[in-house]
Amino acid sequence: MGNVQGALASVSDALHGLFAELSSFWLLLQFGILLGAGAIGTLAGITIRRRLDLEAFGSGWPPVVKLLARAFIDCVGTIIFIAIVFIVRETMLSLTWPSRSYLLGVAVSLATAWVVIALVTGLIRNQFVYRVVSIAAWTFAALDILGLRMAVRAELDSYAVVFGGLRISALLIIKSAVLLLVALWVANALSDFMDRRVKAASELTPSVQVLISKLIRILLIAFAIITVLSSVGIDLSALAFFSGAIGVGIGFGLQKIVSNFVSGIILLADKSIKPGDVISVGEHFGRVGIMGARYTSVDTRDGREYLIPNEDFITQRVANWSYSSDLVRLSVTFNTTYDSDPRKAQAAAVEAAMRVARVVPKPTPQCMLTAFGPTSIQYEMWFWIRDPAGGIVNVQSDVLLALWDTLAKAGVTIPKPGPARVIYEIAREDEPDPPKDQDEAAPRSPFPG
């Protein structure tokens, strides 16, 4: 009973001291100064942002300078707040005790830390990463300014679980998450920079460029993860059990993902398919776009983009129309009547193909007489193009239209299809087989009755 009364008395004394501190003149004065400086800084910042057109003012600036300028404009209100509070605090320090302006000093330190962090993290274009890094950095700075960093650190480290030889605490999770996020962002930024440099190397083929970029990205991400784990004090040998479990999981549950990843590496290494090639795989025909770690995009002429797993290019038959040469041979067939000169028809067909813009002059188009049909002469013409990605049916249509004009101009006639004649024969199952000697058999009508 006495312990309870003592605890209640301690709480009562603490509350009484808090109320007395909050009701003191100097504390209320500091709160008033902070509110006034905050209002002035907010209004000044809004006015400056409305009147200053940063896009027009800094149109010729480098991207990094633009990002820093935008971050500075966003923090201009806070900077004005810091300047006002700092001037007032210095004045109070010269007139009265430092304890009577302590709150102003803390506010200046916190606001300054926020501005510095905002300017530094303003270079991060990813909004999610920007917010996480900003909040984490400012929280760390605020705890350090208030003198609570070591106490909070010890409290978070006290909540922990042990798996074998690995101790996982709340502090370790938070630290690892923040550092891993920053490290992955840096790794992606460096890989993007290296990717631009690799693509600028004209002596490398597109497939080699993609392969080098993918390998650089994988190595940088792996290095970032290993560095973060080592920096937070995690012994990598303690993760042997988990790595074994992950390996088993990959072997059983992630077979397709690993197969597609390895297939993508093989495709990039052997250069059988590269960005820009015109291919047909299965029912899809189009131009190879992005070659990712799991899939390859194929852009078709109908506006759709198919994401085909890399494994399909290894296990299925793929027609690469531009593997060793960009020349593609197409053909059209047509017929003429027997009263037309076949040599004139061949010359007119070659002339028609040469009049189409997409048909290349070399190799020269060729027209062959393929057969003498029952009612017309049959021809097949070959011609070559260099841009199959522009479409196949459309260029064949252009050639046929030009062929129509040139044949008419040369006096060559295209036969018109005549009416079809269909003969129905009905046989009886009970009708006896015809005699072996056909000469002795009397002719019968194919229709009964």
Residues 179-196: tens digit of each pLDDT: 888 788 888 888 888 888
Max CA separation in the chain (angstroms): 143
Residues 416-442: tens digit of each pLDDT: 865 544 433 333 344 445 545 444 444
Other beta carbons within 10 angstroms of residue 403's beta carbon come to: 26
CB-based burial label for 143 (10 Å; 0-12, 13-18, 19+): middle
Asked if residue 132 lies in contact with residue 174, where contact means CB atoms within 8 angstroms, the answer is no
Residues 82-95: tens digit of each pLDDT: 888 889 888 888 88
Residues 97-152: tens digit of each pLDDT: 877 788 888 888 888 888 888 877 777 776 777 777 777 777 877 777 777 778 87
Omega within 30 of 0 (cis) for the link into 62: no
Higher pLDDT, 327 or 403: 403
In sign, the C-alpha dihedral spanning 193, 198, 201, 202 is: negative
- Complete domains list, the chain, with CATH: 20-147 (no CATH), 167-253 (1.10.287), 260-320 (2.30.30.60), 328-409 (3.30.70.100)
Q: How many whole angstroms separate alpha carbon 186 and alpha carbon 301?
A: 38
Q: How many whole angstroms separate alpha carbon 133 and alpha carbon 118?
A: 10
Reported confidence tier of residue 244, pLDDT bands at 50, 70, 90 = low
**Integer CA distances (angstroms), 126 to 73, 121, 158, 184, 189, in order:** 19, 10, 33, 12, 11
Total count of residues recorded for the chain: 449
Checking if the pLDDT of 445 tops 50, the result is: no
